[in-house]
Amino acid sequence: ETGVTQTPRHLVMGMTNKKSLKCEQHLGHNAMYWYKQSAKKPLELMFVYNFKEQTENNSVPSRFSPECPNSSHLFLHLHTLQPEDSALYLCASSQDSLGTRAYEQYFGPGTRLTVT
Partner 1 sequence: AQSVTQPDIHITVSEGASLELRCNYSYGATPYLFWYVQSPGQGLQLLLKYFSGDTLVQGIKGFEAEFKRSQASFNLRKPSVHWSDAAEYFCAVGHNNAGNMLTFGGGTRLMVKP
Determine if 103 is a binding residue for partner 1 (CB under 8 A): yes
Binds partner 1 by CB under 8 A, chosen from 30, 36, 46, 110 = 110
For partner 1, the closer CB: 81 or 90: 90
Query: Binding string, 21-40, against partner 1, x = CB under 8 A?
Result: -------------------x
**Minimum gap (Å) between residue 24 Cβ and partner 1:** 13
Contact 35, 92 (CB under 8 A): yes
Confirm or reject binding of residue 99 to partner 1 (CB under 8 A): yes
CB nearer partner 1, residue 45 or residue 60: 45
Question: Between 16 and 103, whose beta carbon lies closer to partner 1?
Answer: 103
Question: Can the peptide bond before residue 69 be classed as cis, meaning omega within 30 degrees of 0?
Answer: no
Q: Which of 4, 32, 78, 113: binder of partner 1 (CB under 8 A)?
A: 4
What strands lie across the sheet with 18-25, from one edge to the other? 4-7, 18-25, 73-79, 64-70
Q: Which residues bind partner 1 (CB under 8 A)?
A: 4, 6, 40-43, 45, 48, 55-56, 90-92, 97-100, 102-110
